[in-house]
Amino acid sequence: MPDLGKYQNEVIASYVVTLLLLLALLVFSWVRGRRVAKALREVEERRAKNG
């Protein structure tokens, strides 16, 4: 890792915050995708039953 001098703590903290935000976005997208896929399956099943 390059020498960041007196800003080392701030730079590392910003990297950590960025990674946490990206992880949160990934989890949110994954959960929402599963929810939408489940809702779509339910709609398709109802449609198949009703013809």
In the chain, domain spans: 25-51
Q: How confident is the model at residue 4 (pLDDT cuts 50, 70, 90)?
A: confident
Condensed to tens digits (0 to 9), the pLDDT of residues 5-34 reads 899 999 999 999 999 999 999 999 999 999
Instruction: Check pLDDT > 70 for residue 1.
Output: no
Question: CB-based contacts of 25: which residues, under 8 Å, 6+ apart?
Answer: none
Q: Please state, in angstroms and rounded to a whole number, the distance separating the CA atoms of residues 16 and 18.
A: 5
**Phi–psi pair at 3, nearest 5 degrees:** -70, 120
Dihedral of CA atoms 9, 13, 16, 21 in degrees, nearest 10, equals: -170
What pLDDT does 2 receive?
A: 76
- pLDDT reading at 44 higher than 70: yes
**Residue 29, number of CB atoms within 10 A of its CB:** 10
Structure confidence at residue 50 (pLDDT): 85
